[in-house]
Amino acid sequence: MSRLAGKVALVTGAGRNIGRDIARRLAADGATVAVNGPDPDEAAAAAADLPHGAYAVPADVSDAEAVRAMVAAVLDRSGRLDVLVNNAAVPMTGRGDLFDLDPADWDRAFAVNARGVFLCAVAAARVMRPGSSIVTISSIGATRAHRRAVAYDATKGAVEAATRAIALELAPRGIRVNAVAPGAIANDRFAALDPAAQRARAAPVPLGRVGTGADVAAAVSFLASADADYVTGQVLTVDGGLSVQARPPGTDPVLDTAPTEGQQT
C-alpha cells in the first residue's frame, strides 16, 4: 500500500502496544515515521523495526518545551510534518476505587492524556500544510464509563471534546482533526492474562474477540489519508460492537411464551 507515500508522520507513545502498531501501519503505508515515547531506548528500538528512514524523537508530551523541541526535531530531520497521531497516554494511572483516587494521579492522567494532546496538536498545526491530518486516540470510556477508572474516562471525554473544537479551529488551515475510540484491545497486559481471563474479556464483544492494535491502526491510517479528505471533527469507534449493545450477552430478558399468531415480535 502507498496511501501515505512521501508523508511524514509523528506518532506519540509509539514505543509499545497500540502506538507501535500504528507506527508500523503508517510505515507500511509509505510514511516516514517519527517515533515518540518517554523512554529513548524504547523509542529507538521501535523505530529500528520500521522502514523509510524511521527515527526516534523521545519526549514527555506533557512538557510544553519538550513538545516544541520534538516537533522542531521532526522538521530538522524530515523538513515537513503531514500526520500527527496523538496516542501517548497513562491508562493505568489513578485506576482504583473512587475514594482512593490520589489527586496527583488525576493531575498526571490529565497532564499526559489531555494536556499532551493539546500541546502536540498546537505545535504540529503551526508547521503543518493544508491537507495534513491529526488523529487522536480516545477510548469508548469517553462515552461509556469503565468501573474504577474515573480519571482515565474523564481524560478521554476531554480528548473527544477537544477533537471537535480543534477541528473547527484548524479547518480554515486545511488541517483535519479526528479521533479513534478503541474498545477492548489486546496489549502487553492482556497477553499476561491466563486464557480463561482472556476469554472473559472477549465474551461481551459482539464480534466475539478482543481487538488488536492492527485494528486500531487501520482506522488511523484511513483518517490520516486522502481517503478521509472530507472527514473532520469525528470519532471513529473501533470496538467490535461492544458499545452499541443495550445489555451484554446473557443479560437480555427472555420471553417465557412464544408470540401468538399475528402478534408482532
The residues annotated with a catalytic role in the active site are: 152
Radius of gyration, alpha carbons of the chain? 20
Cα 61 to Cα 117, 163, 175: the distances in Å are 8, 17, 21
